[in-house]
A and B are shown apart, each in its own frame.
Chain A
């Protein structure tokens, strides 16, 4: 019986294709939208992914990692003196317009790390050595930087090459891998002291203090302790990530716009597949009525419908997710489009597609339940 149910569905090519494309399109829209959202969100806390520390200390008014309010240099020592803090190091982080040798301006994400501990240094070096940052006038750039800073040169910029940031020499001693930043500028790492010189001068320059708890101590508790003793704000890493994302959710139209896209995908999918499925049941009313007359129970007919809608959902979902993966690969290749397909996205979209199928099946089922088997005798 179930085999026949599938044959009934697949035999109706027009409806079948319509249903599949409805689900595929809807899957694509939802998964693409969600990946876009996650991509953008991951950009917002890129600095947190690139410079890892258990605890981030900032000005009390700071809510997110891209909006810094400078601290006093002496605050580093105040944090160090808090109980159960293993170490604390200064971090400079700012998006600056860097004037290059040829006079052009480039947006860069300048990060200054503590020269003794290297706390907050990039995790993966592609070329060169991190320790060479201790040499005078040296920087490490990420692979995006290679692309951006090579403009106007005959060959790609590399270790040993020199460029200028605001009239000061910057010699490249390493290339690292870094997550892309929200503002799109390449990451340029140097020591804290040098970063302060590269950046336009301000009265206070200390963006964050990175800290670690004593081994075995709970980062939450230690962060709390830091806040109590210094009056500064201390986040654990994950708190700061969430706080950053939440700030963008609250203060930008991103979630609304992307949310609309995802919702649209859901609605479009539901409408197309619900309506096509209903039409499918409607056109088969006579045949379904005949089956009912011949002794197929309402439950049997309903489970046939459920099977049909699940089959459609499964295929459409598979095609849709496949398309998203391909599209994502392509977009990531372009390098400028936010796209992050977390494993949760296919799961959630799968659940949404399941709901779409369920709604479609229910529409059909309502019709079948009302179906009088006697209708088959009517002309």
Chain B
């Protein structure tokens, strides 16, 4: 079940959270050099769940890494939540990430030797919050994603869907305004994928966060407020509403 958008919220009018202009990025040297991002423009608004779709190798992950501050672009402007990342050094960018970005990875990347609650508290511990405070907050978040009873288990004892919920709790525990998710459902079955997306959607709405989801999975397209279609390092077009997305019949 998809939660209906609140009527007062119009994503296309909300302020911009992410603005990327003239982004360039290539990998490798000499003959093996590949130009991945070619003067790419991109934006995302506050309070929306934006999907980034496109064929494999078109540069989605690269774009996501750059706007999340984990990869440095060769050129262009990167404005995220009022920060001009292209003008910042790696130290401040690291700090920026810890304060403003929540990460959700395809492979969950939970640390196997830590309990679920400890895993969730990691972003707070990185910020220097005390262990007791962090764990308390972690347990709250585990309740939000619906698995409070798993707090003291190791991640291996959890199903894929449960692990991804842990990852979502971890991405939200420090209340970051921007959530970046790279193929969050591709390691999950259809049902778990739907659950995970519902959680993400609800959270995006309630707290006016920006959620950017890179995906290949047509079954979750219906959760998007807007959808950016990417090909060969460029954004081809942006579908501006769920209705437009449904009408476009995109399939990668």
Min C-beta distance of B62 to chain A, whole Å: 8
CA distance A376 to B103 in the complex (A): 10
Q: Check if B113 sits within 8 Å of A294, measured CB to CB.
A: no
Query: Which of A2-10, A26-34, A134-142, A170-178 faces chain B?
Result: A2-10
Known: A11-B114, A296-B98, A297-B91. Contact between A290 and B71, CB under 8 A?
no
CA distance A279 to B182 in the complex (A): 27
Q: Is A161 an interface residue (CB 8 A)?
A: no
Contacts of B26 in A (CB 8 A): none
Kindly supply a per-residue 1/0 record for chain A positions 346-379, scoring 1 wherever the CB is within 8 Å of any chain B CB and 0 otherwise: 0000000000000000000000000011101111
CA distance A59 to B18 in the complex (A): 92
Q: Check if A377 sits within 8 Å of B105, measured CB to CB.
A: yes
CA distance A378 to B56 in the complex (A): 12
B126's contact among A10, A300, A377, by CB below 8 Å, is which?
A300
Known: A4-B118, A296-B126. Contact between A379 and B107, CB under 8 A?
yes
Q: Check if B103 sits within 8 Å of A294, measured CB to CB.
A: yes
Min C-beta distance of A378 to chain B, whole Å: 7
Q: Is B192 an interface residue (CB 8 A)?
A: no
Q: Check if B109 sits within 8 Å of A287, measured CB to CB.
A: yes
Query: Interface size on B (CB < 8 Å)?
Result: 31
Q: Is A1 an interface residue (CB 8 A)?
A: yes
Q: Is A295 an interface residue (CB 8 A)?
A: yes
Secondary structure at the A interface, as helix, strand, loop or mixed, is: helix
Q: Is B131 an interface residue (CB 8 A)?
A: yes
Q: Is A54 an interface residue (CB 8 A)?
A: no
Q: Is B127 an interface residue (CB 8 A)?
A: yes
CA distance A126 to B102 in the complex (A): 78
Q: Check if A1 sits within 8 Å of B103, measured CB to CB.
A: no
CA distance A60 to B131 in the complex (A): 73
Contacts of B47 in A (CB 8 A): none
Contacts of B125 in A (CB 8 A): 1, 4
Complex: chain B residue closest to A295, CB-CB: B98
CA distance A294 to B99 in the complex (A): 9
Q: Check if A11 sits within 8 Å of B112, measured CB to CB.
A: yes
Q: Check if A377 sits within 8 Å of B64, measured CB to CB.
A: yes
CA distance A332 to B70 in the complex (A): 61
Complex: chain A residue closest to B60, CB-CB: A377
Known: A8-B111, A290-B105. Contact between A3 and B131, CB under 8 A?
yes
A376's contact among B101, B105, B112, by CB below 8 Å, is which?
B105
Contacts of B123 in A (CB 8 A): 294-295
Complex: chain A residue closest to B71, CB-CB: A374
Known: A287-B111, A294-B97, A379-B107. Contact between A374 and B126, CB under 8 A?
no
Contacts of B99 in A (CB 8 A): 295
A294's contact among B118, B126, B131, by CB below 8 Å, is which?
B126
Min C-beta distance of B156 to chain A, whole Å: 11
Q: Is A291 an interface residue (CB 8 A)?
A: yes
Contacts of A289 in B (CB 8 A): 109
Which A residues lie at the B interface, using CB under 8 A? 1, 3-4, 7-8, 10-12, 284, 286-287, 289-297, 300, 372-374, 376-379
Other contacts beyond A295-B97, A377-B106: 5, CB < 8 A: A7-B118, A290-B103, A291-B122, A295-B94, A296-B126
Q: Which 6 A-B pairs rank lowest in CB-CB distance, beginning with the nearest?
A: A295-B98, A11-B113, A290-B109, A373-B70, A374-B65, A374-B71
The 27 listed contacts between A and B (C-beta, < 8 Å) are: A4-B114, A4-B118, A4-B122, A4-B125, A10-B113, A12-B113, A286-B107, A289-B109, A290-B103, A290-B111, A291-B122, A291-B126, A293-B68, A294-B101, A294-B122, A295-B96, A296-B126, A297-B91, A297-B95, A300-B126, A372-B70, A374-B65, A374-B70, A376-B103, A377-B70, A377-B105, A377-B106
